[in-house]
Structures are given as structure tokens and as C-alpha cells.
Structure 1
Amino acid sequence: MSQHRHPGAPGRAGTVPALPDLPEATVARLPVYLRALHQLAENGHETVSSEGLASAAGVNSAKLRKDLSHLGSYGTRGVGYDVEVLIGQIESVLGLTQSRAVALVGVGNLGHALAGYAGFASRAFRIAALFDADPARVGEEINGLVVHHVDELARVAVEERLAIGVIATPAGAAQAVADQLVAAGVRSILNFAPCVLSVPEGVDVRKVDLAIELQILSFHEHRKASLTGLPAGGPAHTLTTRPGDAPPTDPQEAIGT
């Protein structure tokens, strides 16, 4: 995904830009740091060292310091980072200081779960509208919202000032939905459908493919099995022999008890 900067972004001449031009890898890690910082704040921590924050976020401390330096945040020697200040800096850069209205298209099993997820609101996102093409779904109420037909997307987008579209439809319908979102003025899309979307320049798409993530985990299981000689996903039995015993000829005999 490429970043698209808006030349009209607010900022005073001669000062550091309000929206620094961050590397994509840094942008991807900032929400991880933010989650760790919120947890630290909830546990009563006012400051945190780069090593402590890196450990909480599961990243390398040198990488963390470099990422935060892009924000102009270097911490204080011997003290570390002020947790609340750093939370504010990251939330400002990520645009989380204002609530963003989200359209969810596709209210099947996944869509139902997303529509009912309370965590969005605490992270400055508001599910503002639900859509589906199935007449049996239209008119259904989910978490206080009535499902609209997808053909109403353009009208509702204006009324609700929709900023982000979430696609949770089957793959075959996803491109048409993306086209409707773009036509309605939505320039940021989160795609759960297992397909690649074609969108115009200036539209950002993030893809979430659970099957791909599982396949990556399957690779690591397969790799571990090849290193240990044990079946992938099987129990890690210990092979035991006593002094003077001959090696067992039946694999079942080698399984320790």
C-alpha cells in the first residue's frame, strides 16, 4: 500500500510538518506501539524506556528508537519516554484525534462480528452504516444500525460523511463494492475479501486475508517438523533409551512414556 499525501495538510511555514513522511514499515508499527503504551498507562506507568516499550511491543529497541525519531520523539536520557505524551504524538500522527465514520459492506458471519465489535469506538472509529446486496439482509438491525441496500451507498456516504469502507463480501462481489465506495467518495478501504482490488490512484487499500496468514503459519509448522523429524502439528514426544538398550526397530517402541 502506498501513502498519499495531501499538499493542503495544515501546518505553519518553517515548522516541522504536521504529517511527517513516514516509511510504510514505521506506519505499520505505530499502532503496535500505541497499544503497548495504552496498556502501560492502564497499569500506572508514567514513563517507559525504549527497551521496556520495545519489549512490550515485541520489536527491536533500535528499530523502535528510529521509528519514534521520525515523530521528533527521542525520550529523555535516564528517564525514557513520557507515556501520555508519546500516546498523544502517535495518535496525532495516525489521525486518531478525530472520530472516523466507517461503512461496513457485507453483513454475513464476518460482517456481523465486525459490526458488533466494541473495540472500534475506543480507537476513534465509528461503524456508521451497514450495507448488503441480499434482500433478506436489508432492513435487519445489527448493534443499533439498520442494514441498507448497497445501492444506497452513495446517498448514505454523504449523509454520514463516510471516511473508510470495510469490505466483508464474497470475493466475487468485492470489486463492484470497491467501485461503489470509490464513486461515493471513500478513499480508504479495508478489504477482507480474498481477492486483489483494482482502485484509482489516491485510494488506499489494506488487505486482511486470514487464509494467507494461516498458510504462513502452516509453513512454520512444516519447517519445525522438518527440523525435528516429528509430524507437523503432532505432539512433541521425547525419544528415550536406557544404557545398553539397542535402538528400537519399531517407531512406536521409541515413544517415551
Structure 2
Amino acid sequence: MAESNRRGVPEATVGRLPGYLQALTLLADAGRGSISSEELAELAGVRSAQVRKDLSYLGSYGVRGVGYDVVRLAEQVSAELGLSRDWPVVIVGMGNLGTALASYDGLATRGFQVVALADNDPAVVGSVVEGMPVQPLSELRTDGPVSVGVITTPPEAAQEVADVLVSLGVRSILTFSPGVLQVPPDVDVRRVDLATELQILTFHQHQREVAVSDARVEGVS
């Protein structure tokens, strides 16, 4: 993502690229040769003008009357996201979520290779998930450098996990634990908070209900 920023690709655009890639991959698997910006926009859930603007940052412009070459565009988006190589991933926290992520085939097909698992719970340490032993966090070791660390622990353990990941050289962290992590400036943290996402959805739902209510009042008056 840092590389994209240096190239001037807005963060909002970066956030939409995975959606484009998912749609393009499905189209390529189905044998589609080309796609218009309107079709891609519908599949990705955005406006066609937004698609054209986003893809222009990648230097990709559709051909009038033809659209975009599906395979070539998928390769461009994949390269922009850094998916032309496999990224080693460590998952810490082998509860239901961590175990589900470790078992998720979609990670491998999208360029992420889970190389190690860890937990602090003695009842979990030593168990095997997807052929990998769960290591104690304090003794977490990998055969090589790790690109991404995923934290699926309770909130009170998240900072300790982040500290261990940083000490291992991890510079990209995805955390499912609420709260702010204290990390060095060169470490990127993305937080996935289900409660926050639900609150955003209820905000929009509330706005719709208010709009309907206001319309009824205006109709009565």
C-alpha cells in the first residue's frame, strides 16, 4: 500500500481494487475476454465513472466499444496490490476466528501463505491446525521473514501480540481486536471491528427511516 501511495493512488481507490480483482478473476475463470466499465462497476458495486477513474491511476484505459481486456486488467490490479508473489502470514489467536482464517482456502488463492500459528492458551498450544502446530506466542518462530501478522486474540492480549510481531520484523498487521495498537511509524495496522461495521450499517438504516418519517410528515402537512 505504501508503494501505491508513492505512485499517487488514493487510499480510497486502493480499498476498491480488491473488489475489482475479485470480479475480474471470476470473469476470467468464466472465459470472458473483455468487460465494459459499466459491467465492472455493477459487479463491484460502484459507479462506472469511479471505475474509470480508479483504473486510470493504474495507467489502464478501456477501448471505446470494446472495454477492458479482462486478463490483462486482472494482472494489472494484482500487480498493483503486490499479489505477483506470495506473502507469508502469521495468525495469532487460535479461537474460532483464527482457526477459520487458517482453514480458509481463499487466502492461498489470493497470494497469502499462512506459515505459522500461535496462541497463549496452554490448552491450544501444541494442537495442529491445517497441518501446522500452534506455537506458544513467546516462542513464535518462522522459517523466514513474515510479511503480515493477523491478530484474532481478546483485546487485552492484542498489544502483546503486536509487540511480538513487530519484533519478528512484521510491518503489516491486520487486527480483529478492538482498540488502538501502539506500533512504530513504519508499521501499518488495519483494524476489522464487526461492531463498528454494524454501527455504520445502522447509521444508514437510521437515515433511511428518518427520511421516510420526514416524507410522511411533509405529506400530512
What's the counterpart of residue 244 of structure 1? none
Q: Are 1:4 and 1:202, in contact at CA under 8 Å, matched by a contact in 2?
A: no
Within 5 Å, give how 1:127-146 maps onto structure 2: 127-146=114-133
Query: In the alignment, is residue 111 of structure 1 matched against residue 98 of structure 2?
Result: yes
More helix by share: 2
Q: Per the alignment, in what secondary structure is the counterpart of residue 2 of structure 2?
A: coil
Q: Kindly state the Cα deviation for residue 62 of structure 1 after the two structures are TM-superposed.
A: 1.0
Q: CA deviation at 1:170?
A: 0.5
1:179-190 alignment runs, 5 A limit: 179-190=163-174
1:25 correspondence with 2:12: yes
- What is the SS of the residue equivalent to 1:72? coil
Summarize deviations over 1:207-251 as a string: whole Å, max 9, x none: 10011111222233333444446xxxxxxxxxxxxxxxxxxxxxx
Give the secondary structure class of the aligned counterpart of 1:160.
coil
Task: Give TM-score, length-normalised by structure 1.
Answer: 0.78
Cα distance per residue 1:97-144 (max 9 Å; x no partner): 111110000001111111111110110111110000111111001111
Aligned partners of 2:185, 2:81: CA distance in 1, in Å? 21
Contact preservation (8 Å) 1:20, 1:71 = no
Equivalent pairs counted in the alignment come to 212
1:68 and 2:55 correspond: yes
Aligned counterpart, 2:199:
215
Identity %: 54
Secondary structure (helix, strand or coil) at the match of 1:21 reads: coil
Do structure 1's residue 34 and structure 2's residue 18 form an aligned pair? no
- CA deviations 1:145-204 (Å, max 9, x no partner) are 110000122xx24x2321100000011110111111111100000010011112111111
- The equivalent of 2:217 in structure 1 is none
Give structure 2 stretches of 5+ with no counterpart.
214-221
**Structure of higher CA gyration radius:** 1
Whether 1:163 and 2:147 are equivalent positions in the alignment is yes
Using the size of structure 2 for normalisation, the TM-score is 0.90
Say whether the 8 Å CA contact 2:145–2:169 is kept in structure 1: no
AA matched with 1:134? D
**1:45 correspondence with 2:32:** yes
Matches within 5 A, 1:92-107: 92-107=79-94
Q: What's 2:190 paired with?
A: 206
Equivalent pair of 2:147/2:171 in contact (CA under 8 Å)? yes
Instruction: Tell me, in whole angstroms, the C-alpha distance in 1 between the residues paired with 2:60 and 2:188.
Output: 27
Q: Distance in 2 between matches of 1:129 and 1:100?
A: 12
User: Which residue type is aligned with residue 25 of structure 1?
Assistant: A
Cα distance in structure 2, aligned partners of 1:29 and 1:228: 30
Where do residues 234-249 of structure 1 align in structure 2 (5 Å cutoff)? none
Query: Cα deviation per residue 1:42-92 (whole Å; 9 max; x = unaligned)?
Result: 222100011111111111111111111111111212111000000111111
